A and B are shown apart, each in its own frame.
Chain A
Amino acid sequence: MTEYVIKRILLFIPTLIIITMITFLVCRLAPGDPTEMKIGATQEAQKTDAKNQMTEQAKEFYKKKFGLDKPLPIQYFIWIGNMLQGDFGNSFKDNRPVLDKITERLPVSITISFLSFMLIYTIAIPIGIYSAARQYSLLDRSTTVLLFILYSLPNFWVATLAIVFLCNVEYLKIFPTAGIRSENFDTLGSFDKFKDLFMHLFLPVTVTSLAAFAFLSRQMRSSMLEVIRQDYIRTARAKGLSERKVIMKHALRNSLIPIITLIGGLLPAMVGGSIIVETIFSIPGIGQLAFQAILDRDYPLIMAELVIASLLTVVGILVVDILYSFVDPRIAFTKKTA
């Protein structure tokens, strides 16, 4: 086990090298000068030649400051070296350390992801089990259709519909439009605080969950159906066990295995998907930060977010693989190569 984990962690190294290389190349081979964005804001006010010279000087200054005057491979190694020491560079926009900007926004995003994970796993799995256990029943057929529709609904459309029809005085004003808490949040009593947070988070969490919810439920159903066809289930039934026991004890445990792997797959989708949801609902999380960074061409921030998001996913996949072994002892670590 330990040997396996160490092996996996060693395999991180080439993975990380390629991830950082792709990220670096995507951002650094971009047309145009990254310092232009930095200068651009002040350039408007400066129109005379003398001032132009100043912007040239300013450009040089920023190029030196951000190490953009060195050849690309050297820049790459400097960037990697700094990252290894926990320094992800400073934002082009406000010169603050990128890592600070990300960590201060992380709690919000994690809260939303965690809540939607809870929602997905506590509701989607029982639905999947139930419709598999009662295949072709009315409930099974209606949930199958419903889940298929949910799965194909674009989350930005659902979010737009929610904003237009549920957060809009013209139609219905049930939920607040933006942010995660009201302005007078600090003055509220503890119950009102909870209510305020609930109302703010309800739509973002629901929209974030939709597709993954439908996907997981469908997977659970098909995985369960696969297991129910097995001989040992027939044996369990032949022994005279109650249907409840057959399903909950014998079938469920084995059908959960593929579901666990999906956690790893859901991680990157959630980090990526949160860009849309957080932008639409104006939630100050890392998704919105990423979106803003892209608009500003804040390369250090974009690169840091790409690397951190990939890193989280790599770790997530490893955790899933380890979890896997607890659920299914048949999986031998030593035989797996990657």
Chain B
Amino acid sequence: MDQEKEFLEKEIIGKKTEVDTDTNGNLTKDQIESQQEVGVSYWSLVKHQFKKNKLAMISFYIVSILIVIAVTADFLASSKPLYAVYKGETYFPVIKDYMNDVGINKWDASLINVNWKELDNQNKLESVIWTPVPYGSREIDLSNALSPPAGDHYLGTDGIGRDLLAGLIHGSRVSLSVGFIAAGIALLIGIVLGSMAGFFGGKVDLIIMRFVEIMVTFPLFFLIITIVAIYGSSIWFIMAAIGLTTWTGDAKLIRGEVLKVRNMEYITAANSMGLPNKQIILRHVLPNAIAPVLVSGAFAIAGAILTEAGLSYLGFGVSATTVTWGSLLNEARSASNAWWLAIFPGVMIFIAVVTYNLIGEGLRDALDPRLRD
């Protein structure tokens, strides 16, 4: 027994020392390269491949900019100034609005409904810095209704005098949040049901896939409008309605990936070690099956943004007072000579949809090992 052990040790150690070295005892160039190759993880390979795709990278930057715009919308377009000095006091009205909403720092009763623009026009403000677009998205100005792009209204105004650019900036919030959350809901349902169907197979698979087939036969847009129209058009209902109806593609995709992974040796190993199914799925199956889901996630965001825009275009939007890209575009139908209303909101929807689609395509190509050189 001991002899055998010794022999094995020798064998292993012997192999270790048998590494080819050049005359100086250093590793050869080939070996260094191969070691580096091992060091490159799957995801950094994907990242590298994705970065080579110019269109996808441009889309990625545009999406990042859109997200920044959505997050900082109040600082880009607001009816209140960023900074103002009034009666010797310094104010930061936009920031103060946030604090007021949270309840940290209340507005003075005398200032809560003050019209800062009026004050500025009357030269009562000693010093003032306005937001880049000095209008809020809900600021109605009937005397300036349907004015073409000119002056302070960089992109013109809509039928009740709201600034179009301010509307587009604030509308990006609705579009992006609906896009992300609806796609997230769809992905979550798709991953759970798809991985269950793929992993357990048999009856579970049959039932889940049957349900998927049934969902596919529904006219989805009609179903979504019905749900939103009947149950109320809050942003949460819209997200839920889109997410709950569009998960079927993700489920099918994940199921296929899980089927590929399920019969791998490491899953058998995990099984024989007595791990519970839940742990096997979460720790061993899903991480190896998840990559293609990223692709469908990107497409799902594009689809959800499009659906939300379509809903608010038809008048089933977030709410009557919230401005969205779709609701702005809808106004073009009743304003016969307002070309700016027909073009700019549509361009925004188009850009959002195209960029997510391009990112999806870029990811798909990056994940495809056949395209790797």
Option from A149, A161, A290, A314 in Cβ contact (under 8 Å) with B222: A290
B357 touching A165 by the CB < 8 A rule?
A: no
Given A165-B342, A297-B230, A310-B217, is A152 in contact with B350 using a C-beta cutoff of 8 Å? yes
The 3 A-B pairs at the shortest CB distance, nearest first, are namely A157-B346, A272-B221, A272-B219
Interface residues on A, range: 35 or more
Does B1 touch A at the CB level, under 8 Å?
A: no
- For chain B, residues 253 to 304, give those with C-beta under 8 angstroms from any C-beta of chain A: 302
What would be 11 A-B contacts, judged by CB atoms less than 8 Å apart? A19-B214, A31-B230, A31-B232, A152-B350, A154-B353, A160-B333, A164-B332, A306-B218, A306-B219, A309-B219, A313-B219
Does B354 touch A at the CB level, under 8 Å?
A: yes
A106 to chain B, nearest CB (A): 15
Does A94 touch B at the CB level, under 8 Å?
A: no
Task: Tell me the nearest residue of chain B to A168, going by C-beta.
Answer: B336
B49 to chain A, nearest CB (A): 19
B227 to chain A, nearest CB (A): 6
User: Which chain A residues lie closer than 8 Å to B230 at the CB level?
Assistant: 26-27, 30-31, 297
Interface residues on B, range: 35 or more
- How long is the Cα–Cα vector from A149 to B346 in the complex, in angstroms? 13
Does B236 touch A at the CB level, under 8 Å?
A: no
Option from B206, B229, B350 in Cβ contact (under 8 Å) with A294: B229
A151 touching B332 by the CB < 8 A rule?
A: no
Give per-residue flags for A298-311: 1 if the beta carbon is below 8 A from chain B beta carbons, else 0. Answer: 00001001100110
Most buried by A among B209, B217, B225, B232: B217
User: Which chain A residues lie closer than 8 Å to B226 at the CB level?
Assistant: 26-27, 294, 302, 306
Does B320 touch A at the CB level, under 8 Å?
A: no
B358 to chain A, nearest CB (A): 8
Does A156 touch B at the CB level, under 8 Å?
A: yes
- How long is the Cα–Cα vector from A305 to B222 in the complex, in angstroms? 9
Give per-residue flags for B331-373: 1 if the beta carbon is below 8 A from chain A beta carbons, else 0. Answer: 0110011110011001001100110010000000000000000
Does B160 touch A at the CB level, under 8 Å?
A: no
Does A170 touch B at the CB level, under 8 Å?
A: yes
- How long is the Cα–Cα vector from A46 to B313 in the complex, in angstroms? 35
B220 touching A276 by the CB < 8 A rule?
A: no
- Interface residue SS majority, chain B: helix
A31 to chain B, nearest CB (A): 7
A276 to chain B, nearest CB (A): 6
User: Which chain A residues lie closer than 8 Å to B225 at the CB level?
Assistant: 275, 291, 294
B310 touching A170 by the CB < 8 A rule?
A: no
User: Which chain A residues lie closer than 8 Å to B95 at the CB level?
Assistant: none
Given A18-B214, A276-B314, is A149 in contact with B337 using a C-beta cutoff of 8 Å? no
User: Which chain B residues lie closer than 8 Å to A280 at the CB level?
Assistant: 333
Chain A residues at the B interface, C-beta cutoff of 8 Å? 14-15, 18-19, 22, 26-27, 30-31, 148-149, 151-154, 156-157, 160-161, 163-165, 168-171, 268, 271-273, 275-276, 279-280, 290-291, 294-295, 297, 302, 305-306, 309-310, 313-314, 317, 337-338
- How long is the Cα–Cα vector from A45 to B142 in the complex, in angstroms? 33
- How long is the Cα–Cα vector from A123 to B210 in the complex, in angstroms? 35
User: Which chain A residues lie closer than 8 Å to B216 at the CB level?
Assistant: 268, 313
User: Which chain B residues lie closer than 8 Å to A27 at the CB level?
Assistant: 226, 230
User: Which chain A residues lie closer than 8 Å to B223 at the CB level?
Assistant: 26, 306
A157 touching B214 by the CB < 8 A rule?
A: no
User: Which chain A residues lie closer than 8 Å to B343 at the CB level?
Assistant: 161
User: Which chain A residues lie closer than 8 Å to B330 at the CB level?
Assistant: 160
B353 touching A165 by the CB < 8 A rule?
A: no
A171 to chain B, nearest CB (A): 7
